[in-house]
Amino acid sequence: MMAQQTLFSRVIGTGSYLPPDRVTNQALAERLAANGIETSDEWIFARTGIRARHFAAPDVATSDLAKIAADRAIEAAGIDPQSIDLIIVATSTPDYVFPSTACLLQNKLGIRNGGAAFDVQAVCSGFAYALATADNFIRSGAHRTALVIGAETFSRILDFNDRTTCVLFGDGAGAVLLQASDEPGVLATALHADGSHAHILCVPGNVSGGAIAGNTFLHMDGPAVFKLAVNVLEKVAIEALDKAGLSAEQVDWLIPHQANIRIMQSTCRKLHLPQERMVVTVDEHGNTSAASIPLALDVAVRDGRIQRGQHVLIEGVGGGFTWGAAVFKF
């Protein structure tokens, strides 16, 4: 009796997209000043590490950002889009209540093979959740080529009368193509959630009876989020590394969720990694939620920092509360 072949999923291409409207801290400060709210570039940068973010135009949907990122990943991988039999979009800002942004994206890509397409909602941990889901589908043999995307238009849910939140977030999309392989790629994933913390980061509204029910602006208890994030990120990173049989010193690149430079640096220190091994894009991207990790990954792949054969650790934490990590050999 022949032994069953072990399947793995490997990253074969990455892509990303930022809308062209780059909003600096100074430009945002001027917008807030018109609402009678005082802030400054110095105030924002000192607390977050953010210098600028990108906002999508009013007629640009989350699926539009995802489409461009997907096209770039497909080009980088050099594959026929019709070979993609699984699309997972991580987003908290979908185009519609339904259908899923993934289905809309499938149509925009012209993929007509009947493969599965669905969204994952885990806020800033969304990409880690989506990557883990795609990896397990491929390892099971159910699918062979997966397009995994984090895409957000967070500018649509920001209250520009609240300087503690509106200065943090931006729009964008990042994409990764995973393909079945007999060579190890994704080595381990770890996912967690604790719904008892839902109230510290949420958008507590919905659609009911043809009208908005509740509040559809983002609400965040910053100190509570910071405290929880620095605690769980270290633990989930170590958990994923243990599953992969690696030590932190074997990590070539750490790509944390790009939320706040102080949270990112804290995790790096706790893992005893030099700061030079951490990919940082929060200064130019802001917090793009589920898009932040694949955006940062694509930047580091395209500028030559991340090379084939290197070990990459990703980790994220977001509303829910959710958190997750993954380790892969690029």
Torsion of CA 205, 209, 211, 212, to 10 degrees: 0
Residue 107: active-site member = no
Note whether 8-183 and 187-329 share their fold. Answer: yes
Please identify which of the residues 143, 285, 287, 311 carries the catalytic annotation.
287
Please identify which of the residues 197, 257, 285, 311 carries the catalytic annotation.
257
Are the beta carbons of 102 and 300 closer than 8 angstroms?
no
Domain boundaries, the chain: 8-183, 187-329
pLDDT at 75: 98
Q: How would you label 300-311 residue by residue, b for 16+ Cβ within 10 Å and e otherwise?
A: bbeeeebeeeeb
Residues 120 and 254: their CA atoms lie apart, in Å, by: 23
pLDDT at 4: 61
Q: Which helix (H) or strand (E) holds 159?
A: none
Residues 6+ apart with CB under 8 A from 231: none
Q: How many CB atoms lie within 10 A of CB 159?
A: 14
Residues 226 and 271: their CA atoms lie apart, in Å, by: 17
How is residue 188 written in tokens?
């381990």
Superfamily of domain 8-183: Thiolase/Chalcone synthase (3.40.47.10)
Residue closest to 172 by CA, chosen among 315, 20, 275, 47:
20
How is residue 21 written in tokens?
């409207």
Residues 226 and 51: their CA atoms lie apart, in Å, by: 20
The pLDDT tens digits along the chain (330 residues) read 445 678 999 999 999 999 999 999 999 999 999 989 999 999 999 999 999 999 999 999 999 999 999 999 999 999 999 999 999 999 999 999 999 999 999 999 999 999 999 999 999 999 999 999 999 999 999 999 999 999 999 999 999 999 999 999 999 999 999 999 999 999 999 999 999 999 999 999 999 999 999 999 999 999 999 999 999 999 999 999 999 999 999 999 999 999 999 999 999 999 999 999 999 999 999 999 999 999 999 999 999 999 999 999 999 999 999 999 999 999
As a whole number of Å, the CA-based R_g of the chain is 19
Residue closest to 318 by CA, chosen among 170, 123, 157, 168:
123
CA distances for 315 relative to 59, 84, 189, 230, angstroms? 32, 25, 10, 11
Can the peptide bond before residue 321 be classed as cis, meaning omega within 30 degrees of 0?
yes
Range 187-329 has CATH code 3.40.47.10: yes
Residue 257: active-site member = yes
Residue 197: active-site member = no
Please identify which of the residues 124, 166, 202, 268 carries the catalytic annotation.
124
Residues 3 and 295: their CA atoms lie apart, in Å, by: 39
Q: How many CB atoms lie within 10 A of CB 158?
A: 17
Residues 310 and 301: their CA atoms lie apart, in Å, by: 11
Amino acid sitting at position 269: R
Q: Which residues pair with 190 in a beta bridge?
A: 325
